[in-house]
A and B are shown apart, each in its own frame.
Chain A
Amino acid sequence: MSEKSRNERAQGLRDRLNNELQRMSLDMCVKCTICETACPVSAVNPLFSGPKFVGPQGERFRDDEPVDHSVDYCSSCGTCSVVCPQGVNVAELNSLARAVMKAEDGVPVRDRMITQTTLMGKAMTPIAPIANAVLDNKLARYAMEKVVGVHRDAPMPTARTQSLHSWLKKRPKPTKQPTRGALVYFHGCAGGYFEVEAAKKAIEVLEFIGYEVLVPEQGCCGLAEQSNGLFEQASASVRKLVKQLRTAGTDLTIISTAGSCTGMLKHEAHQILGIHDEELLDVGTRIREISEFLMELYEADELPTDFQPIEMRMPYHAPCQLKSQGIGTPAADLMRLIPGLEVLDSGATCCGIAGTYGLKKEKYETAQAVGKPLFDMVKENTDGLAACDTETCRWQIEKSSGVKTIHPIVLVHQAYGLGQATA
């Protein structure tokens, strides 16, 4: 990329940061330090000066060329914005500052690669056994760390032999007639290619309770690109996804099992990428986390609750990007409706992975240290399974604790007596 276009891009982002609400929100900061006490990264890595320092504090000193590269230690987990009692958009400020820095300094090839989640899924599905063997191979991972910069021990998704859409095409048509109308299902890249089981079960649960489930072709939401500072690519991705989701209907509720991607559509694309399109706002207000949706039904007395018991302890981790949606922890509430299931909240802030952060060789140790209390909690309290709403967090927990980690909908699926038991 030429120097000029790089500078122009950085300047464009800087202008945006200077003149948008995020920067104005630093006026709300009273320096109370609550964000710093909650930040999972600065707690384990002194190289990160903490969200107040790099956020509302550092921002007052920024202009033109970035001078504080340590902002890149921020994992974008968003905990700071959630805990701020004054309404400072701390994480959003940091994301923008990092984007400016990366536009100025250039983005490593590694960060461009690991953000291509749909591409990875498309490429790996046809050669799933080989892809999985390679990702399991120590030597291959060593080479990958050296060449690309993805840590050899970082969690990797498992490729599946069949994508969700291929299953949808081949499965027999649902025999039960829908009684409650149609929903649009958003599965995210992971649901489409890697977490196919969870996605299938989500569809089956929704159909079981009487909905017609529409699954339009859909690409990536761009979250990984955004958190790596690739704002232009991220904006293009999310705009395309919004268009795709709207092809299935413009007044239907959209149900998602991809927790982080839901957050992207609900608020991050708007607040961080600065996209104010009507279409995005429309999708953002129609989309629901699947547990959030089922609990809305429950509260309206419209959810069948004749669940079969599942007798086991279930450590549950509410991921950061779910917490930042401000919807409470509907998955925990939902699982607690299942008789016998003892849901144990992890109480942990973050698992450390934060999308792609914990994959990077220079961030891996930090990510592991962030997640350690969670991994220990899961190990101590498990009867063989743990639950979490977001994919990369599940991979991280599973890899680092050795405990199989599933989407909560899998348990609901089993409790409705649909298909084979997982638990």
Chain B
Amino acid sequence: MKRLETDVVVIGGGSTGLGVVRDAAMRGYRAVLLERVDLGQGTTGRFHGLLHSGGRYVVSDPGSATECAEENAILRRIQADAVEDTGGFFVTLAGDDPAYADQFLEGAKATGVPAVEIPVAEALRREPRLDPRIQRAIEVQDGSVDGWQLVWGAARSAMNHGAKVLTYHRVTKIEREGDRVSAVMCRDEKNGEDVQIDCSFVLNCAGPWAGQIATMAGADPVAVIPGRGIMVAMNHRLVNTVINRCVYPTDGDILVPVHTVSVIGTTDVHETDPDHLPIPRAEVQQMLDAGEAMIPGFRKARALHAWSGSRPLIKDDRVSVEDTRHMSRGMAVIDHSKRDGLKGMLTIGGGKLTTYRLMAEHIVDAMNDQLGENRPCTTAEEPVPGSEDRKLYTVTHRLGEREEDRLDDPIICECELMSRSMFVELLHEQPNATLDDLRRQLRLGMGPCQGGFCAARAAGLACSEQVADSERATGLLRLFLKHRWIGIWPILYGQQVRQTALDHWIFAGTLDVEHLPQPEEEIVR
């Protein structure tokens, strides 16, 4: 068994965990983050890409609205390479109550969320695909944000400050000595080795899995209610501005242009198991209808991919378990010393990606209090590695970069303009990564062909770069295709059917991927 020693173990490699490990490391704590799979593979990677202006909450949840507005400005400063300044509109559709916009403007004023009503004609001029029958339009400072860029930026920052970030480490038990946490036991899933990490503090940031983690420490169950929502990505940017429906928060009320796609979301359904989130057909149809209501012709546009994510909502006794939308979106820190008599452990739930930095600040503050330390938070000022120039991301970035290097550097993923050297560099930096892990950081296979052309090239490179033998490379390819498929079949209609047929001919017909030699044990990580 391997043994490590640290001050604080952070459990969960989503935005909250990375925010926390960065914050703790910047305050001078020795910190280790444990993630059972890769970073940003849970809730963080499964949202619509909206960097909230706060507008969504000005009426329903004023506290969250103010936090969003403040954190939005901070993230633009410290994580510019993950954020695009798309701007946003709240629009009153033909059948919606125009009076809500007055409530909205009042709420915005009260919560400090910048919002200005603009003439409908102006909104239509800037986004001519909008339904021309819209009644009102309010401009807000929404943006879009890449959750994976966000967590990897925070991870690199944390590591620069001395933290360790261990992916594919599954927590198996939290040890205690008397009434104190003393160690976290985990297993390195890549090589099967057990690891014991002695520590004086555990910060449970496992999101929808936080309940399971708390139980491992012998604490009373924490009621985390996964509130599942589905998202559908459309093939290109149908709008260049975030479009929100100006109504009390409901299903399918947001359309976000993020990278090269536009994402419509979302639903909110109570689930029990965050590891098995369905993408029900009825909800896909519901999203397409919602898109059509904002953008006439939406249903005729090409859908690329769908996914399901789960909000880590902490149960609030005031609302029914089925009504997850109206559970507190605000963050909640559970102090297990008060609740369970277990010192040295805090659990955080709720919150949203836009406010991940603030959540981290709160939980590390709470740890400070328990430890009697006074170490101020400094995360709001220092840009993360990659964002030092404070230049916001733009959708044209990769096209401009390829314009410069296209003659020297072959393009591996044509849809998302990922060059060979981008891929090979990351492959060598993270030789244990699956193609999906690399995908999240590089957008490999996330465009129209969904891996049809690039996946085999990527697997080939893993092999020729001697990072994987041919059998593992085949296993990686099959795993990648399997994962892509999960998000393709729920939206198999229209143009994507033809793409999928072509991809199938390539893989099954030309490459016979089902029968290539591969390891006896299926590659799953």
Contact = CB atoms under 8 A, between A and B. Distances in A.
Contact of A26 (B236, B240, B417): B236
Given A49-B406, A60-B260, A60-B447, A27 B495 contact: yes
A73 to B, nearest CB: 12
A191 B510 CA distance: 52
A30 B260 contact: no
A125 B452 CA distance: 58
Interface in B430-454: 447-449, 452-453
Contact of A31 (B125, B406, B414): B414
B166 interface: no
B235 interface: yes
Interface residues of B, number: 35
Contacts of B381: none
Which one of B235, B297, B399, B498 has the greatest number of beta carbons of chain A within 10 Å? B399
Contacts of A15: 125, 128
Interface in A45-96: 46-47, 49, 52-53, 57-65, 67-70, 86
A30 B396 contact: no
A47 B399 contact: no
B414 A63 contact: no
Contacts of B399: 58, 61-62, 67-68
Contacts of B300: 24
Interface string B110-137: 0000000000000001001100000000
B398 interface: yes
A24 B300 CA distance: 9
Contact of A63 (B240, B302, B449, B495): B240
B95 to A, nearest CB: 23
B237 interface: yes
Nearest to B260: A60
Interface in B294-334: 297, 300-302
A29 interface: yes
A23 interface: yes
B523 interface: no
Contact of A18 (B128, B260, B302, B415): B128
Nearest to A54: B399
Interface in A1-50: 15, 18-19, 23-24, 26-32, 46-47, 49
B309 to A, nearest CB: 24
Contacts of B301: 24, 27
Nearest to B236: A60
Given A19-B128, A30-B448, A68-B400, A63 B394 contact: yes
Nearest to B404: A67
Interface string B86-107: 0000000000000000000000
A31 B415 contact: yes
Contacts of A57: 414-415, 417
Contacts of A28: 495
Given A26-B235, A26-B236, 8 more contacts: A15-B125, A23-B236, A24-B301, A27-B301, A30-B495, A31-B453, A63-B394, A67-B399
18 contacts: A18-B240, A24-B301, A27-B301, A29-B448, A30-B448, A30-B495, A30-B498, A31-B448, A53-B414, A57-B415, A57-B417, A59-B236, A60-B237, A62-B395, A62-B396, A67-B400, A68-B403, A70-B406
Interface of B: 125, 128-129, 235-237, 240, 260, 297, 300-302, 394-400, 402-403, 406-407, 414-415, 417, 447-449, 452-453, 495, 498-499, 502
Closest 9 pairs (CB-CB, A-B)? A67-B400, A27-B302, A61-B399, A60-B260, A19-B128, A31-B449, A68-B403, A67-B396, A30-B499
